[in-house]
Structure formats: C-alpha cells, structure tokens
C-alpha cells in the first residue's frame, strides 16, 4: 500500500521553520497555511476545522503544527464514523515534541519516528508493542500482508506479556525488530505465501510475492484466479499484481478482476502465451507455472514491487475546476489532480488547479491551441502516464472535453484508444453565477456562447432568436472580447425584440475568484460596456422576477411553474 503524501498544517508564521524541516523529509507534502496569518506556503486555507476534516476524510496523513488538543477536538466528530483513519500527528511549533495521535494501523508511529529523527527529538510513542519491539507487527510494511488482524492483536498482547517468539521464513524487517526471539518459543511468526490456517500461537504474515500473468480475459476472471491460487496452495493476500498483455489494456473485465482481487494491474507487450508474458516481465524469477489456458503464475522468493513490473495503463482525465474557489471543486477532481503526472491547460487554469508537487510536470499552453493540446495529452497518456487536462467550470461546456474526444475520434492509433479516458464534471460558470443571484435558471433555459470564432455569426443570431421566441432564460458565455466588440450589442437588440425592458439580467464577473462581482440590472439599462470576457450574462425569461435582499443585490428567480401558478 502506498501512503499518500502528508499535509503539513500551520496556523502561524512561528511554525514555518519546523514545517519546512518536515517537508524535507516528505518532499511530496504540501504546507497548508491559514490565510491572513502566513504567506509563502504551498496552499492557503480559510477554515482550520473544515480543512482538517476534509483531509482526514480523504485519507490524507496530517501533520498539524499545533496543540494536540486542538487536533483532537477538531477531528472528534469524524472519529465515530467508520472510514478512513490516516496517520494524524501533532508537532510542537518549535519542533520539540512529536505526538502520534491516530492511525496506528496506518503507520503513524513510523512517521512519528521519521519526523522526530529529522527534528532531533524523541517521538512521544505510546503504543506498547511499538515501544517494546520498535515495529508494529500489526502493520507490516508494503510487500507484506497480515493474515488476521484480530488474531494478531491477541498475539501481540501475548508477546507483551513476556512470551518469546520464533520466526519461520524470511522477512528482513522482522529480523531488524527487537523481538524476544528464541528457538524454543511457543509463539511463532510464519512468513510465507502458502495458504495456511494459523495454528494456535501462530501469527501468519504473507509476503506479496506472487504474480499472475493474463494473456486472455476469461469469464469470471477474478474467480478463476482465486481458484487457481487455491489449487496451487497459495494464499490470496500473497498476490501482488496481475500483468496482462498490452492488447487487453482497454478491457473493463480485466480492470474489474484486479479491483475485485485488490491488486495492481500492469501491462507488457503481448506475448500470446501467459507463461512467456510472465517471463518477459520477471525474467530473473523461477519459471512460470501455467494455471489454466491464458493464465500463468509466478512465485518469487521475495515481495514483488508491482510498480517495477511492465507499465501502467495510461490515464487521461479531462477535469472541470469549477469557477475558481477551491470549495466548489468536486472531490473527484481534487483526487485526480493529486494522482496526475502531467497537467495540461491554459496557464491561468493550470495555476488555478495548483499547488503541485515538484514531481508533477506542467504543460502550459495558449488558450487557442486546443486540438494540439488534446493530441499532446494522448501522447503522454499512451506512455502509461496519468495525465490531466484542465478546464475552468465544466470541461464539457465550451471547453476541452469535446476537443479531446474529437482528437481520439480522428486517431487510429490503438495506443490512444487503450488510454483510460474519463471526463470529470465541474460547476459551470452559469450555474455558479445563478446560485449567487438566486435561481434565475430555475425553469427551462438555453446556454449559448456568443463567440463567433468557431461558428458563423448568423447561426448565433438564429439560435438566439428562436430561444427568445421559446421564452427560455438565457445564459451567455464568451459574451464579448476585444476582437469581438459588436456582437453583444447585436445580441441584445435581438433579445429586446422579444423581452420587456424590465427583464432582470444577472452579470457575474470572476465568480468564485478573488474580486468577484455580481450585479442585477434591467435589460433596458444593460450596455455592452458593463460586460467583459470574464463575465457571465444571464437574461431572465418572461416569468423571471426579483425582490430585495438586504445589503446585497436583489434575489432573482424564475419560478418552477409556467402559465398559471398551480
Ligand atoms: N468551461 C467553462 C466556460 C468556458 S467559456 C465553464 O463551464 O464555466 C469562458 C466564458 O465562461 C467566459 O467568457 C465567461 O463568460 C464565462 N466564465 C468562466 N468562468 C467564469 C467566472 N468565474 N465568472 C464569470 N464568468 C465566467
């Protein structure tokens, strides 16, 4: 299991020096600072409580440079919920104390030791087993899996009560632990990949040293693999990865089987025969045993690191950032940004999507090079990388998703078609603006881009005229720009032929971004000079109304009903 990069949380300038030292230990970690109190951090947050809880829910390890009590009180509401329990540590501002609080099975004590060593202090470890043996038997390092947690807990408490232990099999990390070993011991730790019921007084740990090669996707693949492992006498948790022929890359049944088995899926150039495929990725190992037609099994004498086997299926995600504010970005998009190797997009949006880690490659391009950017994204993803193309708002609304699909449609390269392509939605500017104004799009509405860069102006006039005839509320994207100065004026002329002068119009500028403004005006008073390319224009239908809201622009809404109020 690979641990996510931790988040380092600081409340004030006083703890920045300590935070930086910790960041040197975890170069992927970002420092999050309280807005207004610190600058020059990787990310600013406004609310300590909601930031901490969100990180916790997302299973992100947390290193908070503040009092343990603050962290405990903040996370208290999360603790009753079953779910993620990432490592959580409190570290004194000046680096003099490192206190692991939560995430005992997620490796919090390992982190406490690492951080304390980096700061030159002793960690405040309170877990008896850890203290005594210097390792948590219940949380083996990646490459090993514990057979049974409950049996394990009993085993550790017996050890703590003073029993000694024998180790059968090899696991270097266990040899390094300060276990009270004795050849005559009653208690035994068994390390091996064979399927085995733990006998009394035995702790079974499986090294993840088994790989299954797949050259043919059989029906019920996960079950066939399980049966194959069982007949070979191998325990399922010892399975480290599946490797499949490149031609099978886009097969959803294969992905499903890997997810079902909880293992990493890798690919290698296609040998038609599974044993040959296995040999091609792990040539130094014992010969592969055929399981059934299309499947072969390899058992190594040490844990297999799946990331060293073949390569991953490339992934391309086209994401929507939402209007700008971080809390209007959907969690799936945040997770996608965290896993990205490469990020492509218009520079402003790429910057909005940050902060990024030093290992993430940013490819900033001009806004107009859409097709070129889409093709570049496929080239990177086809190499097995995880690639993100960013759009503001929603990627399917006058943005990159359609360009990416068009590039794929035009391509006959099988590697491009094998990429794991996903479009992740965002809050579009019309919806973000509408929400701030009330519900101007509360009934049927029509979304139009007023840009005639990619379509003839006559089409825009026709559609606008028909949408007005249909009495739809209107949302104008790209309403005006320096190179398109007259189009908005002409569009408003058409609208005024159908709508009365008092029709409410909402102007949202830089919504969800610093310096956002929201104005509600009447159609008769609207001038193109009131609008620029960073503005969203929402024009009401015949039923759209407004009423006062104290101290702010009036509420605007379009009722749910039409014709007669029910
Ligand atoms: N994919 C984007 C739209 C891209 S078109 C989305 O779904 O929101 C660009 C136009 O969107 C701009 O000219 C402007 O009209 C509008 N827009 C984008 N972000 C905006 C914001 N934060 N506030 C107001 N309008 C915005």
- Among 434, 534, 537, 538, residue to substitute to test ligand 1 (most atoms within 8 Å of Cβ): 534
Atom of ligand 1 nearest to the CA of 449: 5
One domain, residues 422 and 323: yes
| Residue matched to tokens 């009495």 | 471
Sign of CA dihedral 115, 118, 124, 126: positive
Atom of ligand 1 nearest to the CA of 479: 15
Question: Percentage of the chain with pLDDT > 90?
Answer: 74
Residue 141, pLDDT above cutoff 90: no
C-alpha span between 321 and 299 (Å, rounded): 44
One domain, residues 229 and 301: yes
Please choose, from the candidates 133, 100, 138, 130, the residue with its C-alpha nearest in 3D space to the C-alpha of residue 116.
Answer: 100
144-146 and 202-207 beta bridge pairing: antiparallel
Residue 92, pLDDT above cutoff 60: yes
C-alpha span between 293 and 221 (Å, rounded): 12
**Which of 71-85, 196-210, 306-320 reaches the highest mean pLDDT?**
306-320
Is 323 near ligand 1, meaning CB less than 6 Å away? Answer: yes
One domain, residues 241 and 193: no
What CATH number is associated with residue 378? Answer: 3.40.1010.10
> Are the beta carbons of 475 and 425 closer than 8 angstroms?
no
Q: Which two tokens stand for residue 137?
A: 């038997």
What CATH number is associated with residue 95? Answer: 3.40.50.11220
Is 403 near ligand 1, meaning CB less than 6 Å away? Answer: no
445 assigned to some structural domain: yes
Residue, of 378 and 271, whose pLDDT is higher: 378
One domain, residues 246 and 261: yes
Residue 134, pLDDT above cutoff 80: no
Is 392 near ligand 1, meaning CB less than 6 Å away? Answer: yes
Residue 345, pLDDT above cutoff 80: yes
Please choose, from the candidates 342, 327, 453, the residue with its C-alpha nearest in 3D space to the C-alpha of residue 388.
Answer: 342
Residue with CA closest to ligand 1 atom 17:
429
pLDDT at 174: 85
Question: Which range has the worst mean pLDDT, 281-290, 314-323, 340-349?
Answer: 281-290
Q: What is the DSSP string of 220-246?
A: THHHHHHHHHHHTTB-GGGEEEEEEEG
The structural domain count of the chain equals 5
pLDDT in tens, 490-500: 999 999 999 99
Work out the angle between the directed axes of helices 68-79 and 48-57 (0-180°, nearest 10).
50
Please choose, from the candidates 388, 476, 394, 449, the residue with its C-alpha nearest in 3D space to the C-alpha of residue 427.
Answer: 394
Domain boundary among 126, 158, 175: 126
Full residue range of the structural domain in which residue 32 is found: 7-126
Residue 81, pLDDT above cutoff 80: no
Atom of ligand 1 nearest to the CA of 391: 1
pLDDT at 132: 78
Residue 261, pLDDT above cutoff 70: yes
- Among 429, 436, 480, residue to substitute to test ligand 1 (most atoms within 8 Å of Cβ): 429
Residue 317, pLDDT above cutoff 80: yes
One domain, residues 409 and 325: yes
346 assigned to some structural domain: yes
- φ and ψ of 508, to 5 deg: -110, 120
106 assigned to some structural domain: yes
**For residue 534, how far is its CA from the centre of ligand 1 (angstroms)?**
6
Is 26 near ligand 1, meaning CB less than 6 Å away? Answer: no
Domain boundary among 278, 308, 338: 308
Please give the average per-residue pLDDT across 520-533, as a whole number: 97
One domain, residues 458 and 524: yes
One domain, residues 300 and 330: no
Which pLDDT band, with edges at 50, 70 and 90, does 551 fall under?
Answer: very high
Burial class of 64 by CB neighbour count within 10 A (0 to 12, 13 to 18, 19+): buried
Residue 533, pLDDT above cutoff 60: yes
One domain, residues 423 and 442: no
214 assigned to some structural domain: yes
pLDDT at 356: 87
Residue 367, pLDDT above cutoff 70: no
pLDDT in tens, 163-217: 899 999 988 888 888 888 898 999 999 999 999 887 888 999 999 999 999 999 9
Which pLDDT band, with edges at 50, 70 and 90, does 150 fall under?
Answer: confident
Domain boundary among 153, 175, 207: 207
Output the CA torsion 263→267→270→274 (10° steps). -20
132 assigned to some structural domain: no
**For residue 447, how far is its CA from the centre of ligand 1 (angstroms)?**
12
One domain, residues 331 and 380: yes
565 assigned to some structural domain: no
One domain, residues 490 and 523: yes
pLDDT at 1: 40
One domain, residues 438 and 521: yes
Question: Which range has the worst mean pLDDT, 141-150, 522-531, 534-543, 555-564?
Answer: 141-150
What CATH number is associated with residue 278? Answer: 3.30.420
Is 429 near ligand 1, meaning CB less than 6 Å away? Answer: yes
Question: Percentage of the chain with pLDDT > 70?
Answer: 98
Look over the chain and give the mean of its residue pLDDT values, rounded to a whole number.
Answer: 92
Question: Which range has the worst mean pLDDT, 34-48, 262-276, 277-291, 348-362?
Answer: 277-291
pLDDT in tens, 434-489: 999 999 999 999 999 999 999 999 999 999 999 999 999 999 999 999 999 999 99
Residue, of 422 and 158, whose pLDDT is higher: 422
pTM greater than 0.85 (yes/no):
no
One domain, residues 301 and 254: yes
Is 535 near ligand 1, meaning CB less than 6 Å away? Answer: yes
- φ and ψ of 187, to 5 deg: -80, 145
Residue with CA closest to ligand 1 atom 12:
478
Is 322 near ligand 1, meaning CB less than 6 Å away? Answer: no
Is 397 near ligand 1, meaning CB less than 6 Å away? Answer: yes
449 assigned to some structural domain: yes
- Cα distances from 433 to residues 9, 42, 438, 450, 524, in angstroms, run 32, 28, 9, 17, 21
Number of alpha carbons in the 13 Å side-chain half-sphere of residue 404? 32
219 assigned to some structural domain: yes
3-state secondary structure of 34: strand
Is 511 near ligand 1, meaning CB less than 6 Å away? Answer: yes
Is 427 near ligand 1, meaning CB less than 6 Å away? Answer: no
């Amino acid at each position: 299991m690979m641990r996510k990069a931790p988040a380092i949380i600081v409340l004030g300038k006083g703890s920045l020096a300590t935070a930086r030292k910790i960041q040197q230990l975890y170069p992927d970690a970002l420092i999050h600072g309280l807005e207004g109190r610190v600058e020059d951090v990787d990310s600013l947050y406004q609310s300590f409580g909601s930031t901490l809880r969100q990180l916790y829910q997302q299973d992100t390890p947390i290193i908070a440079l503040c009092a343990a009590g603050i962290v405990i009180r903040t996370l208290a509401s999360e603790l009753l919920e079953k779910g993620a329990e990432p490592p959580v540590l409190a570290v004194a501002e000046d680096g003099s104390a490192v206190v692991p609080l939560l995430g005992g099975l997620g490796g919090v004590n390992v982190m406490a030791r690492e951080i304390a060593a980096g700061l030159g202090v002793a960690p405040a470890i309170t877990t008896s087993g850890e203290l005594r043996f210097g390792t948590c038997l219940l949380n083996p390092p990646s490459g090993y899996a514990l057979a049974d947690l409950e049996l394990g807990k009993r085993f550790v408490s017996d050890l703590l009560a003073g029993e000694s232990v024998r180790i059968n099999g090899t696991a270097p990390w266990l040899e390094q632990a300060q276990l009270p070993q004795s050849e005559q011991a009653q208690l035994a730790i068994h390390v091996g990949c064979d399927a085995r019921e733990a006998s009394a007084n035995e702790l079974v740990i499986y090294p993840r040293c088994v790989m299954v090669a797949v050259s043919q996707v059989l029906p019920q693949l996960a079950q066939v693999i399980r049966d194959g492992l069982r007949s070979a006498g191998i325990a399922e948790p010892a399975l480290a990865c599946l490797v499949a022929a490149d031609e099978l890359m886009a097969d959803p049944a294969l992905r499903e089987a890997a997810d079902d088995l909880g293992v990493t899926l890798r690919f290698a150039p296609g040998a038609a025969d599974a044993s040959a495929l296995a040999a091609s990725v792990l040539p130094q190992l014992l010969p592969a045993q055929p399981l059934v037609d299309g499947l072969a099994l390899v058992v190594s004498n040490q844990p297999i690191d799946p990331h060293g086997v073949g390569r991953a299926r490339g992934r391309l995600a086209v994401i929507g950032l939402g209007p700008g504010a971080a809390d209007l970005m959907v969690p799936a998009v945040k997770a996608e940004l965290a896993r990205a190797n490469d990020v492509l997009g218009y520079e402003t949006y790429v910057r909005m999507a940050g902060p990024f880690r030093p290992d993430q490659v940013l490819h900033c391009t001009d806004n107009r090079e859409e097709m070129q950017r889409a093709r570049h994204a496929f080239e990177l993803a086809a190499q097995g990388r995880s690639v993100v193309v960013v759009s503001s708002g929603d990627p399917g609304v006058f943005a990159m998703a359609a360009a990416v699909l068009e590039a794929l449609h035009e391509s006959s390269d099988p590697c491009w078609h094998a990429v794991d392509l996903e479009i992740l939605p965002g809050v579009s500017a019309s919806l973000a603006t509408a929400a701030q104004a009330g519900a101007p799009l509360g009934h049927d509405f029509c979304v139009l881009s007023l840009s005639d860069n990619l379509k003839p102006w006559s089409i825009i006039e026709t559609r606008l005229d028909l949408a007005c005839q249909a009495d739809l509320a209107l949302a104008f994207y790209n309403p005006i720009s320096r190179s398109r100065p007259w189009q908005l004026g002409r569009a408003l002329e058409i609208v005024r032929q159908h709508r009365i002068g008092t029709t409410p119009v909402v102007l949202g500028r830089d919504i969800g971004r610093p310096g956002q403004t929201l104005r509600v005006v009447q159609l008769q008073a609207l001038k193109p000079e009131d609008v620029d390319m960073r503005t969203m224009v929402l024009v009401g239908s015949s039923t759209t109304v407004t009423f006062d809201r104290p101290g702010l622009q009036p509420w605007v809404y379009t009722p749910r009903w039409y014709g007669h109020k029910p």
